[in-house]
Amino acid sequence: MLFNNQILWSIIPNESRGGKFVWNKNANRNTRSTVLNGNKILNPYKGIGYSFAADLFEYRLDGEGYLLKTYKVIGGAGTSLEFDGTGWSHIPEIGDKLMVAPANATDTGDTATVTAVTFDKTAKKFTVTFDNNLFSANVDDILVEAADDDTPLVKNPNTFIETNILFNIPSDGSYGFTEFAGYLTTAYGLEAFIERMQPLPPYVLAKNKSYIEGIFEL
């Protein structure tokens, strides 16, 4: 159901990352800040998707921003890679243009488009088929969405998503939903445990303001 073209968010049960103490809460600290206005999501999931507490978002003053979607390689090679599929992993989708996250946000790299996705619930992994070889992808590499110029789509993730979110309305026109628009309000001035966040590529880790090893601060 849509109201004023906005998506209705649903909270995901506690077995996902929000129930794993992702936030670092220091005593006597209250510096959390919320952005002035929400942003229209320019890269929503095409189907059903998830974002989790402490996922990152690129907030922009012009009112439109991007979810940072990241995928950790755990196997495969060439045109078929295996992604981590534990309970707080992002869901790859057909049509996604992905690349190995480079060292710098403005670096270019090889890209490939997802043509098929299967999920093994026992092994908790996604098997992702691409339209061409990603020879540069190795186990433990992190893949991100790629822009048209073959640089990372999300170059400046600068705020946190605070709670687990289920994107429960497809944005691709299926089920009769048209003129989709999803909006999200994010926050900063928070700290999260890196090992409990989404996989973070080097160019994102370089933004960390924390001087404490293992904690990510924006």
Query: In the chain, what are the domains?
Result: 1-68+154-218 (no CATH), 69-151 (2.40.10.170)
Share of the chain above pLDDT 70, in %: 84
By the 8 A CB rule, do 54 and 29 touch? Answer: no
Whether the predicted pLDDT of 11 surpasses 80: no
Structure tokens at 166: 């289920």
Residue 167: the pLDDT is: 84
The pTM assigned to this predicted structure is 0.86
Least confident of 36-40, 53-57, 100-104, 150-154: 36-40
Instruction: Please list the residues that pair with 2 across neighbouring strands.
Output: none
The mean predicted confidence, pLDDT, of the chain is 86
For residue 81, the Cα-to-chain-centroid distance in whole angstroms is 18
State the sign of the Cα–Cα–Cα–Cα dihedral 83, 59, 151, 7.
positive
CB neighbour class for 7 (10 Å; exposed up to 12, middle 13-18, buried from 19): buried
Candidates 32, 28, 40, 46; CA nearest to 182 is 40
Residue 20: the pLDDT is: 62
Report the C-alpha gap between 199 and 85 in whole angstroms: 12
Whether the predicted pLDDT of 166 surpasses 90: no
Whether the predicted pLDDT of 125 surpasses 90: yes
Candidates 118, 210, 124, 120; CA nearest to 160 is 210
